Chain A
Amino acid sequence: KAGVTQTPRYLIKTRGQQVTLSCSPISGHRSVSWYQQTPGQGLQFLFEYFSETQRNKGNFPGRFSGRQFSNSRSEMNVSTLELGDSALYLCASSPQMTGETEAFFGQGTRLTVV
């Protein structure tokens, strides 16, 4: 079974630009969660999608948004990028809602904002 795939792996953007990250979950998994990981803040929950609906949302500004498609693939969008958005963005897929069963993480997208 293929694992969780995130694209791109690395990204360099300029302040003020926007970016879209993609996550393809494990086949059959309906939940996709997104996390921001930075050295100082650890793993911060962004949002979770289950069956195309956002079920939970973390404490991030409205510049961070996401969606999930009917095939469970998910995208995360960050608009008006700031230097502080530089981080590793991880997505995780689960058969059910996050926390009910184990989550499988992708390799992440390393975003650098300059």
Chain B
Amino acid sequence: GQQVMQIPQYQHVQEGEDFTTYCNSSTTLSNIQWYKQRPGGHPVFLIQLVKSGEVKKQKRLTFQFGEAKKNSSLHITATQTTDVGTYFCAGQGNYGQNFVFGPGTRLSVLP
């Protein structure tokens, strides 16, 4: 079945440093979504990417969808302590498969 992987599993950065998490799917995705879950909280939607090669920005966050629609990345510029949490990518194949979440990347930001 469809598998979604993320790397790294954990990332510790100093405040002000950049951070990137990568998401890879075993199958081509119709679209990909990113969520953030703060410690003790629930996942909160960040963005959806649909088009091949699409790049979207939200302030310090840049999201990219690969040309083959099998991978994606989230880059945070100049991290802040408010960026702490686990970032999940999630996607669905082109044939109505289940919506699958990646295992997440847990980000720690040291002040």
Contacts and interface: CB of A to CB of B under 8 A. Distances in A.
Q: Do A and B come from one complex?
A: yes
Interface in B6-65: 30-31, 33, 35, 41-45, 48
A49 interface: no
B30 A105 contact: no
Interface size class of B (residues with CB under 8 A): 20 to 34
Nearest to A4: B42
A19 B8 CA distance: 36
A45 interface: yes
Given A43-B88, A99-B33, A99-B99, A107 B42 contact: yes
A16 B24 CA distance: 38
Given A99-B31, A99-B33, A99-B92, A45 B99 contact: yes
A42 B35 CA distance: 13
B85 interface: no
B111 to A, nearest CB: 25
A103 B45 contact: yes
B66 interface: no
Contact of A105 (B43, B48, B91, B96): B43
A35 B99 CA distance: 11
A106 B42 contact: yes
Instruction: Determine the main DSSP class of B at the interface with A.
Output: strand
Contacts of A8: none
B88 A108 contact: no
B99 A108 contact: no
B92 A42 contact: no
Given A99-B33, A101-B48, A105-B44, A58 B98 contact: yes
A71 B65 CA distance: 36
Interface in B62-100: 88, 90-92, 96-100
Interface of B: 1, 30-31, 33, 35, 41-45, 48, 88, 90-92, 96-104
Given A48-B98, A59-B1, A103-B33, 18 more contacts: A35-B101, A42-B101, A43-B90, A43-B104, A44-B101, A45-B100, A48-B99, A56-B98, A57-B98, A90-B43, A99-B30, A99-B90, A99-B99, A102-B48, A103-B43, A104-B45, A105-B42, A107-B41
